[in-house]
């Protein structure tokens, strides 16, 4: 079944254009099922031209996943994510994480679909676990500070936040009406709920 994340076919070009083409093919076909022949055909160049920019298929995968991972960890390094109350920092991180997903949709989609079949995929999964652990620790700090309900397990709360954010890749499309304020909307729904307070 074809993925809803489609990349426009682009003319041959530099490294970034080739990487974008490769990510689209990896999402549509699956990384394992995509050959260098498939990639060169999609990019409209020869295999040797592709190898001029990337050492091979796994180098393409690594570059794509690094882009997604760097975006996520950049969220944790934001000044607003490092100071203030745990709940305020968590709100900043959730909004910024949604922003990264929106800006880097195909790259984050690919990150969420890796299964650990290669060394690069295992590296990406380990980085995802490290990011999730940082969010989980912050949720625990917010519970300890009385800013998040104490009757909800911090690990469960962190998983629910992660699941909510990650599910956005399945339906978000750039330019779709109503998504301009998506980061703020997700924060509001996650922290205030969707039912009015009595």
CA–CA dist 12, 179 (Å, integer): 31
CATH number assigned to the domain covering 62-192: 1.10.357.10
Low-confidence ranges of the chain (pLDDT < 50): 1-12
What pLDDT is recorded for position 7?
44
- DSSP, residue by residue, 20-81: HHHHHHHHHH-TTT--HHHHHHHHTS-HHHHHHH-SSHHHHHHHHHHHHHHHHHHHHTSHHH
What pLDDT is recorded for position 162?
93
What pLDDT is recorded for position 8?
40
pLDDT tens digits for 82-127? Answer: 999 999 999 999 999 999 999 999 999 999 999 999 999 999 999 9
179 phi and psi, to 5 degrees? -105, 0
Question: Of 117, 95, 133, 120, nearest to 32 (Cα)?
Answer: 117
What pLDDT is recorded for position 195?
74
What pLDDT is recorded for position 13?
59
What pLDDT is recorded for position 197?
67
Give the pTM.
Answer: 0.88
């Amino acid at each position: 079944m074809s993925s809803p994340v489609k990349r426009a076919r682009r003319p041959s070009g530099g490294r970034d254009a080739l990487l974008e083409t490769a990510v689209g093919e990896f999402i549509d076909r699956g990384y394992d099922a995509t050959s260098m022949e498939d990639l060169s055909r999609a990019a409209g160049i020869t295999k040797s031209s592709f190898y001029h920019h990337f050492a091979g298929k796994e180098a393409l995968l690594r570059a794509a996943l690094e882009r997604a991972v760097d975006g996520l960890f950049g969220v944790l390094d934001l000044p607003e994510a490092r100071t203030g109350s745990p709940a305020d920092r968590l709100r900043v991180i959730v909004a910024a994480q949604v922003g990264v997903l929106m800006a880097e949709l195909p790259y984050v989609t690919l990150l969420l679909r890796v299964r650990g079949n290669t060394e690069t995929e295992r590296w990406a999964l380990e980085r995802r676990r490290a990011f999730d652990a940082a969010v989980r620790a912050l949720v625990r700090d917010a519970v300890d500070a009385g800013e998040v309900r104490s009757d909800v397990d911090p690990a469960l709360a962190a998983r629910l936040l992660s699941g909510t954010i990650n599910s956005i890749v399945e339906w978000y499309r750039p330019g779709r009406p109503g998504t301009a304020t998506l980061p703020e909307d997700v924060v509001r729904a996650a922290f205030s709920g969707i039912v009015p307070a009595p």
